[in-house]
Each structure stands twice: as C-alpha cells, then as structure tokens.
Amino acid sequence: MNKTMIMFSALRAFRVIAVVSLVVGMLTVIFAVVAYVPAHPQFSILNTYLSDIGDTVGWPQIIFNNGTILAAPLRVMVVVFLLLVLRGYDGRRPRFERAALVLAVVSAFGTVCMTAVPYSTGPAVHKAGIGLYFIGAVFLQSVLGLKMLKIKELPHMLPVLSFFIVVCFVAFLFFYLMLQSGGDVRALSVFWEWMCFFSSMLWLAGHLVFLKEE
C-alpha cells in the first residue's frame, strides 16, 4: 500500500471517529441539559457549570457522566488518526507523535477522573482531574496547532481552531483559579467552561470540513 492510500485510509478513519465524537459530545450535553432544566429553571451558561449537571443525581448525572466518559477514549482515537493523516504530509515525526499521544492520554485520563468523581464526592480528585484535562488539552492543542501551521498544504483554519481551543481553555483556567482564590468571577469561569466545550465541538466540525484528501 503506497503513501497516498495509507493517508486516505487514515483520513477516512479520522472522519468516522470525529463524526462519532461530535455526535456523542453534542447529544450528551443536549440531553443532559434537557434532563437538568426542569428542576433547575435558573440554568444558563453564566451560572451552571457543566460539572454541576454531572453532579446532579438522577438522569442529568447518568447522561452527562456516561457520555463524557465514553467521549474520553474517542478523543484519543481522534488524535491517533489525525497524527497518521499529518504523517502523510510531513513524514513520521516520532517525538512529536509521542508527545501528542501522551498529552491526549493525560487529558482523557483527567476527563475520566473529574467525571467519575463529582466535586461533591471527592473534591481533591475532581480538581486534579480538572488540572489534567484542561492543562493537557492546552499543551496538546498547542503542539497540534504549531505542527499544522508548519504544513503549508493544510488550510490555515485548522491551526486557528486549535489555538482557539487554547485561548478558551487558558481563559477558563485563569478565571477558575481566580474563583478558587476568592475572586468574584463565577459567571466568567462558568462561561469559559462552556466555551471550552463549544470550541472542542467546533474543532471537530472544522476538521471534518477543512481536512480533505489531497
């Protein structure tokens, strides 16, 4: 099998996993919100963390936590196949690929920790999971964005989407840490957590649109 065929196969696999991840992510949040709102009519993206929904006993918790945990390995698979696609453009880069895979696994592990252990059950584990997930995602999207920026054949929108995730995740971490230290920034912290979700979904959708067979 020649290089073009391998790249095409990797791209098709990437598209399938990206579509599944996008559907799982969107439906998880939509159905969890629908289950959450009847008992919490004050819901908005300025006062309700996604983790608040995951910490609400009953269907909101069941839907959100199970969907989020399912999405964690899917995200790792997305990165694996994206790396194979990038290899078709830039050749094999072992150090870059290992770094990206490690960061993807760390971020996914953080997702599982903060989801499987809600804040009300184990705040220390939940906060550790937040750190692993968000910091892992910042570094992962930074290295992916820089790599895609160097590949002239790729649309510039792809690294832009990665750097947009970095901005959203850094903003959330900044305001979350301010909130933990006593700052009156809960609304900003909540808003940027939702932006982290939206930017991640936009990243998947954007790669489905702009990453094409050469």
Integer Cα distance of 72 and 103 in angstroms: 13
> How much is the pLDDT for 213?
66
Percent of the chain's residues with pLDDT above 70: 95
pLDDT band (50, 70, 90) for residue 7: low
Per residue in 130-160, pLDDT (tens digit) is 999 999 999 999 999 999 999 999 999 999 9
Please tell me the predicted confidence (pLDDT) of residue 150: 94
Q: What angle do CA 47, 120, 32 make, to 5 degrees?
A: 55
Q: What is d(CA 105, CA 36) in angstroms, rounded to the nearest whole number?
A: 30
| Position 214 pLDDT exceeds 90 | no
Question: In the Cβ-directed half-sphere of 115, how many Cα atoms lie within 13 Å?
Answer: 22
210: Cβ contacts below 8 Å, ≥ 6 apart:
155, 157, 158
Q: pTM to 2 decimals?
A: 0.93
Q: Is the pLDDT of residue 183 over 70?
A: yes
Tell me how far CA of residue 142 lies from CA of 2, 112, 123, 160, 165, in angstroms. 30, 22, 28, 10, 9
Closest CA to 190 of 43, 68, 89: 43
| Per-residue pLDDT, 6 | 55
* Arithmetic mean of pLDDT over the chain: 93
Residue type, 18: A
What local confidence, expressed as pLDDT, does residue 167 receive? 98
Helix axes 186-210, 157-180, angle to 10 degrees: 160
Q: Could you tell me which residue, 3 or 162, shows the higher pLDDT?
A: 162
At 176 the three-state DSSP class reads: helix
Tens digit of each residue's pLDDT (9 = 90 or more) over 21-48: 999 999 999 999 999 999 999 999 999 9
Condensed to tens digits (0 to 9), the pLDDT of residues 45-96 reads 999 999 999 999 999 999 999 999 999 999 999 999 999 999 988 888 999 9
Please determine, for residue 199, whether its predicted confidence score (pLDDT) is greater than 60.
yes
What's the DSSP call for residue 87?
H
